[in-house]
Every structure is written in structure tokens, then in C-alpha cells.
Amino acid sequence: MIFPIKLNKDFFKYIPTNNFPCVYNPSKILDEGCNRLHYIRAVSNLKFSGVFKTTTSNRFLKTIIKLSERLVNIDDSVILEVGASIGTTTLDIQSQLKYKRYFATDLNISLFYKIIGKWVFFFDKNNNLILVTNDFFIFYVNDLKCGIIKKYLLKKIPNHIELESTQLIDPDLVKLNSNKIVFTEYDIFTAWNRDKVDIVIAANILNLAYFTVSQISLACSNLAKALHDDGMLIVVDNRDVEKSTIFKWNGINYEILNRINGGTEIESIILEIII
Ligand SMILES: C[S@@+](CC[C@H](N)C(=O)[O-])C[C@H]1O[C@@H](n2cnc3c(N)ncnc32)[C@H](O)[C@@H]1O
């Protein structure tokens, strides 16, 4: 990250900050009564191990429509969404597709924190400090090249602290309270140990900005093993325009069924996988 320290946009909203890197304060998610829009905006600025939680509604409608055309007359699919962030995209998908069970999963579904005065210290599930905020600044700790600033931040944390935690989940998904949707932790680099699924959706996670070729290959091999034969893997990339590829897993390798806007950049990696 070029600027690991950003201005807190919530504070600087009335001051022109066009020439400065600034973000909405992720600490907003801790405010009671934080509305959904602000929650999504704030959570999107969290970064765990090099990957942002960025999400938003209606990101890949063309892909969902194409998928729903393929699923006409099928209402008992089991869906696995990986890297679903807080489940905002889950809400879009589940409203347009018929399904029997929906696993909405992400590696980081909990956030740990400690508030010390005006400072908020955020940790991942392994107790690694990932982010620090105050009224003016947001510090992306892992991207800080300057050891002095890191040391300064770490010094503020007392030796023995008890962390609080919060689940990272879209307030509307909580409200929906569907017994068909399971929101749970899953790391794409590990085997999927639950029931086999008919559809895997991986949106804005499997790309070369986040992972290497061999990591993507490992993840898609794991996802192949999670799929029934003739199941589908849908890979979406929203970086410029909505691009996606719908693959079929035929039991041995993946085949391409559809492409939206030219498809995703990782098609060739996925097509090389043989199990
Ligand atoms: C950019 S967000 C995409 C969110 C959502 N799919 C969307 O399109 O709006 C990427 C998500 O992948 C998750 N992630 C990162 N590494 C992961 C891993 N190894 N396994 C599962 N999820 C992971 C992050 O926590 C983050 O929520």
C-alpha cells in the first residue's frame, strides 16, 4: 500500500481532502445504531492479510441473471459463497436464486478490538494487530514501512489486555434470519468439510492482485472437491467493470460455460486444474 496512513474521512468531511488519501473510519462499525450503509462503508476499509473486506450491494447483477437463467426449474441447489465478506452480496444472490441451503463464508468473520481513550486497536483472530484508528488517522499496521510509527502504536497497548470482539455481518442478513443460510468461517486454502455443493461463488477474491497462481490453483482445486460433478464455479471480478466466468466442474477438470465482459483473468489457471 502506497499510503499506509490515511486521513479519517469522517473527521475531514468538511475539509477538501482531494489530494490526500483518506477513508471512512472502520471504527464506525462499533457504534451502536450505525446504519447499514455506514456499516458497509466502514467494514470495506478493513484489511486482513493483504485483502480488503470491500463489498457493496448489486456488484454483479449480470452474473446473477446469467446464473439464474441456467438454474430455471432448479430450486434445490446447495450454494457455497466464498470470500463473502459480511454477506452483502449473499443478500443479492439469495434474493434472485432458488436454493435449498446457502453457505455464506469468509476467512474473517470476527474482529477483535480494544478501545484505549481515543484510539481503537483492531486485531485478527490470531491476535495480530491489523489496524489502528483515532479521530484523525487510520493506520494500516502491516503496510507501515516505518518501524518508529509501528513501535509508537504498539507502545500504547498495555501488556495484558482483554480484547472484545464483534461479528462482521451485514445487519440486513441478521434481520433476514433465514434458516436456509449458514454464515460461517471458511478458508479457501483448506478442504471444504461440509456437504458437497452445486454452486460455488467466488466474487472479488480469486485474482492475481491478492494471490499467486499456485494459491489460486490450490483454492480452485479445493473448491472442485467441494462441488458435485456438473456443479458450477462462478468467479467474479469487479475491479473495472463486472467481469465473470461461469465454469462447470465435470469431475476431472473445469470447462467454461459463460463469460460476462470477456471473463476473468484467472481462466487459464483454472482450466489447467486436473483432479
Ligand atoms: C474484496 S472482499 C469481496 C467480498 C464480496 N465477495 C464482494 O464481492 O463484495 C474479499 C474477501 O475475501 C476474504 N478472504 C481473504 N482471504 C480469504 C481466504 N483465504 N479464504 C476465504 N476468504 C478470504 C476477505 O476476508 C474478504 O472479506
Mean residue pLDDT across the chain: 96
pLDDT of amino acid 263: 98
Domain shared by 154 and 68, yes or no: no
Taking CA atoms only, the protein residue closest to ligand 1 atom 7 is 55
51, part of any domain: no
Tell me how far apart the alpha carbons of residues 186 and 98 are, in angstroms, rounded to a whole number. Answer: 23
Cβ–Cβ under 8 Å, residues 258 and 245? yes
Last residue of a domain, one of 141, 166, 191: 166
81, part of any domain: yes
Domain shared by 9 and 117, yes or no: yes
pLDDT of amino acid 17: 65
253, part of any domain: yes
pLDDT of amino acid 118: 95
Last residue of a domain, one of 166, 186, 204: 166
Taking CA atoms only, the protein residue closest to ligand 1 atom 13 is 83
Quick: pLDDT tens for 9-57: 988 877 766 777 889 999 999 999 999 999 999 999 999 999 999 999 9
Q: Please give the C-alpha separations between residue 83 and each of 156, 253, 255, in angstroms, as whole numbers.
A: 32, 22, 22
Q: What is the residue-wise DSSP string for 176-187?
A: H--TTEEEEE--
Domain shared by 103 and 117, yes or no: no
pLDDT of amino acid 3: 87
53, part of any domain: no
From 65-79, 141-155, 197-211, 220-234, the region with the lowest mean pLDDT: 141-155
pLDDT of amino acid 66: 98
Query: How many other CB atoms are found less than 10 A from the CB of residue 267?
Result: 16
Taking CA atoms only, the protein residue closest to ligand 1 atom 5 is 84
Q: Is the CB of 108 under 6 A from ligand 1?
A: yes
- Residue 16 Cα to ligand 1 midpoint, Å, equals 32
Domain shared by 224 and 254, yes or no: yes
- Ligand 1 nearest-atom number relative to CA 88: 9
User: In what helix (H) or strand (E) does residue 111 lie, and over which residues does it extend?
Assistant: strand 110-116
Domain shared by 98 and 138, yes or no: no
Quick: pLDDT tens for 154-180: 999 999 999 999 999 999 999 999 999
- Residue 265 Cα to ligand 1 midpoint, Å, equals 17
- Residue 218 Cα to ligand 1 midpoint, Å, equals 16
Question: Sign of dihedral through CA atoms 26, 30, 35, 40?
Answer: positive
Domain shared by 104 and 66, yes or no: yes
39, part of any domain: no
41, part of any domain: no
Question: pTM (2 decimals)?
Answer: 0.97
- Identify the CATH number of the domain in which residue 204 sits: 3.40.50.150
Count: domains in the chain: 2
115, part of any domain: yes
- Residue 205 Cα to ligand 1 midpoint, Å, equals 5
Domain shared by 126 and 242, yes or no: no
Across residues 182-199, what is the average pLDDT? Answer: 98
pLDDT of amino acid 270: 98
- Residue 87 Cα to ligand 1 midpoint, Å, equals 10
pLDDT of amino acid 1: 66
233, part of any domain: yes
Quick: pLDDT tens for 93-144: 999 999 999 999 999 999 999 999 999 999 999 999 999 999 999 999 999 9
Taking CA atoms only, the protein residue closest to ligand 1 atom 16 is 107
Boundaries of domain holding 125: 5-30+110-166
Domain shared by 259 and 182, yes or no: yes
Q: Is the CB of 54 under 6 A from ligand 1?
A: yes
User: In what helix (H) or strand (E) does residue 196 lie, and over which residues does it extend?
Assistant: none
Domain shared by 79 and 148, yes or no: no
Taking CA atoms only, the protein residue closest to ligand 1 atom 27 is 85
Q: Is the CB of 210 under 6 A from ligand 1?
A: no
Domain shared by 73 and 88, yes or no: yes
Confidence of residue 218 (pLDDT cuts 50, 70, 90): very high
Q: Is the CB of 53 under 6 A from ligand 1?
A: yes
Domain shared by 229 and 131, yes or no: no
- Ligand 1 nearest-atom number relative to CA 189: 19
Domain shared by 73 and 197, yes or no: yes
